[in-house]
Amino acid sequence: MSQETPLVVPDNNQLAYLHEQDPVRHPEPVFGARTVGTLMIVIGLLSLGLAAAQHWQQLKRLRTQYAAPRSLSQLVAVLVAVPGVVALLATPLRN
């Protein structure tokens, strides 16, 4: 017979209570969920920007030697970046 452990995630009130009771065993978290989310958005936007810049440079180099067709990847990069920028700007506005 196997025993299953239920997944119980404490909310902020429970975490605050645990921290008050024993601050050594239950320290304050270093990063909150909003900070981690913002960091992930920034990393995604930076990665997308660097990849788009590298792709643009490679296409520019190819076009000097060959008749390379137009690439839709820059348009796709912009379409992906716009929601990321909106999310990044909206993050500090959330309660």
Q: Which domain holds residue 85?
A: 31-93
| Domain assignment present for 26 | no
Residue 47's contacts (CB-CB under 8 Å, 6 or more residues apart) are none
Q: Is residue 84 domain-resident?
A: yes
On whether residue 71 sits in a domain, the answer given is: yes
- The enclosing H or E element of 54 equals helix 33-65
68 with 62: CB under 8 angstroms?
yes
In a domain, 24, yes or no: no
CB 33 within 8 A of CB 12: no
Q: Establish if 20 belongs to a structural domain.
A: no
**pLDDT tens track for 12-41:** 777 777 777 777 777 777 777 788 889 999
Q: State the pLDDT confidence band at 42, using cuts at 50, 70 and 90.
A: very high
Residue whose pair of structure tokens reads 């909150």 in the numeric block: 32
* 87 found inside a domain: yes
85 domain-assigned: yes
State pLDDT tens for residues 54-78: 999 998 888 888 887 778 988 999 9
- pTM for the whole structure: 0.67
